[in-house]
Amino acid sequence: MADEEPIYSRIKQGIVQLGSTDSQETRRIRTDDDGRLLVNVETGTIISSESSVVPLATNGVQNVTDGTLTTIVTYTAGADKKISKISVSGTDYAKFQLFLNTVLIETKRSGPERSLDFIFDNPLALASGDVLDVKVTHYAPSVLADFESTVYGY
């Protein structure tokens, strides 16, 4: 932030406050007598991308036979999108796989819980026209299982 104004002040005996400020945010770094850092972030009205995360696609499939790779949900980006999380669940333990434009990008297995999330700390970027598939395979012999998935992003 180019218009930040540095801050330095002694606020109590033994405590020094350092930081910077601009029109929207003040960041302060403090240390106590033992040298421990204390951090206080004060934020004004800043809207982050995380606040606009919405479900982009959701679907469920029923009666999935064992050993069969099955698509739960397909999301085609109509514009550039960021995927922050994909939730999956089912009535049986399973292997869940994510495919981007038919290329396998990640695999997770459920258990002991039957629900799990793919969390993207650095959101997965989709360009307009990219296709994301969430697929499942379960291995319980002679069991017909149900699975659900929701893709979240902005």
CATH number, domain of 115, equals: 2.60.120.680
Asked if residue 106 has pLDDT above 90, the reply is yes
> What pLDDT, on a 0 to 100 scale, did the predictor assign at position 24?
54
Check whether residue 10 and residue 29 sit in a common domain. Answer: yes
Asked if residue 85 has pLDDT above 90, the reply is yes
Check whether residue 23 and residue 91 sit in a common domain. Answer: no
Rg, Å, the chain Cα set: 23
Tokens encoding 4: 């930040």
Instruction: Report the pLDDT averaged over residues 89-113.
Output: 97
Check whether residue 60 and residue 94 sit in a common domain. Answer: yes
- Which of 15 and 144 is assigned the larger pLDDT? 144
CA dist 84 and 122 (Å) reads 8
Q: What is the pTM of this model?
A: 0.68
Parent domain of 11: 5-43
10 Cβ neighbours under 8 A, 6+ residues apart = 16, 17
Number of domains in the chain: 2
Check whether residue 125 and residue 108 sit in a common domain. Answer: yes
- Which of 35 and 129 is assigned the larger pLDDT? 129
CA dist 130 and 40 (Å) reads 41
Check whether residue 144 and residue 90 sit in a common domain. Answer: yes
Check whether residue 149 and residue 104 sit in a common domain. Answer: yes
Check whether residue 133 and residue 62 sit in a common domain. Answer: yes
pLDDT in tens, 26-82: 555 556 666 666 555 555 443 344 558 999 999 999 999 999 999 999 999 999 999
Check whether residue 28 and residue 74 sit in a common domain. Answer: no
Tokens encoding 26: 């003040």
